Amino acid sequence: MVIVMKMGASEEQVAAVVADVESAGFRPFINPGVERKVIAVLGEVDVDKAQLADHFSELSGVERVQLISEPFKLSSRSYHPQDRVVNVKGVQIGAGLPVVIMAGPCSVESRSQLLETAHAVKEAGARLLRGGAFKPRTSPHSFQGLGEDGLELLAEAREATGLPVVTEVLDSHDVPLVARYADMLQIGARNMQNFILLKWAGESGHPVLLKRGMGSKVKELLMAAEYILAEGNSQVVLCERGITTFEDSTRNTTDINAVPVLKHASHLPVVVDPSHATGSWRYVPAVARAGVAAGADGVLIEVHNNPAQAKSDGPQSLKPEKFRALVEELRRVAQAIGRDV
């Protein structure tokens, strides 16, 4: 449940409610920085929730108490009704702001590959540079990424282009290392329910791009986000990257429904990744356009200066000139729904 305080409730009133929540055996979690304080009541205690809600609603300074039936609380709109804006080193994502395009190669492979691609995506209109230094590969024999050398190249590309960097962290032990270089931490589909990693990413205080697991429900994605939010880190962006279905004409199936469903259930920004969702450069533009039309706050596009030679995800990577054309199309789609790129 969440306790909504009256506008202008005093600090003493909030403190008294917090103490009452604690004495009932729950963990209070205050939504900071909003004019009307909202206190989430977290925890599993075997009590009559309706009775408890009645009790809280009679406390001084309380406007109303709302029971939340969903298991996700901090990621829900009941807790935070306004759209959340996530700030990646000055690039703001969410709340109807211009759609943010994040782009770059699947893997950082070399200095020339990364810098060439980074300059190309920047010139085309990308606002975040995304590339992997630690790669989650299905086979241990596939390219695993350059590790810290790759992070250094990403930092160099940020210097050269001014684009903040998004990169994946695969292992909780690497969070401090990756956070030293990256402006936003990506948690990949395969790690969506790696709860220790989620906690560490939350604790880092860095913005997090959380990708939906290929076999995960929207609710499970929101529960995963809950782990990050519960560490006091509100800077979470959700990413629909396609799910596994019986359909095998594409790598995954884009769950476009997830965009409005997530935006209705949660205050967190939503990004669509048509590259991993389709697995084929041919389909990337259409699905990217669909994502923006559906209300996504951003898109993640894999771009490579020479896709034929890419060490990972070449078949789904756009060449820079195709990416440039796509950005223009996305701008027109965004403008058609009263937004921009």
Residue nearest to Mn ion (CB): 106
Shortest Å distance, C-beta 131 to Mn ion: 9
Beta bridge mates, 302:
104
Output the six-digit token pair for 88: 């990646």
* Contact call for residue 168 and Mn ion (CB under 5 A): no
Shortest Å distance, C-beta 50 to ligand PEP: 41
Q: Compute the CA torsion angle 173, 174, 177, 179 (nearest 10 deg).
A: -110
Output the six-digit token pair for 281: 């450069």
Q: Which stretch binds Mn ion (CB under 5 A): 13-21, 94-102, 226-234, 305-313?
A: 305-313
Shortest Å distance, C-beta 298 to Mn ion: 16
* Contact call for residue 313 and Mn ion (CB under 5 A): yes
Alpha carbons 26 and 276: distance in angstroms, whole number: 40
Which element (helix H / strand E) includes 176?
A: helix 175-181
Residue 211 site contact among ligand PEP, Mn ion, none (CB < 5 to 8 Å, cut-off depends on kind): ligand PEP
* Chain residues that interact with ligand PEP, rule: CB under 6 A: 106, 132, 136, 188-190, 211, 241, 276
* Contact call for residue 189 and Mn ion (CB under 5 A): no
- Whose tokens are 């309380």? That residue is 62
The single residue among 106, 230, 243, 294 that binds Mn ion, judged by CB under 5 A, is 106
Closer residue to ligand PEP (CB): 98 or 136: 136
CB contact at 8 A, 4 and 62: yes
CB contact at 8 A, 266 and 77: yes
Alpha carbons 22 and 41: distance in angstroms, whole number: 9
Residues constituting the chain: 341
Closer residue to Mn ion (CB): 183 or 313: 313
- Whose tokens are 């030293």? That residue is 180
* Contact call for residue 192 and Mn ion (CB under 5 A): no
Which x/- pattern over 125-154 shows residues binding Mn ion (rule: CB under 5 A)?
A: ------------------------------
* Contact call for residue 20 and Mn ion (CB under 5 A): no
Closer residue to Mn ion (CB): 94 or 104: 104
Shortest Å distance, C-beta 317 to Mn ion: 8
Shortest Å distance, C-beta 57 to ligand PEP: 43
- For 2-17, b where at least 16 C-beta lie within 10 A, e where not — what string? bbbbeeebeeebbebb
3-class secondary-structure state, position 214:
coil
Residues making contact with Mn ion (CB under 5 A): 106, 313
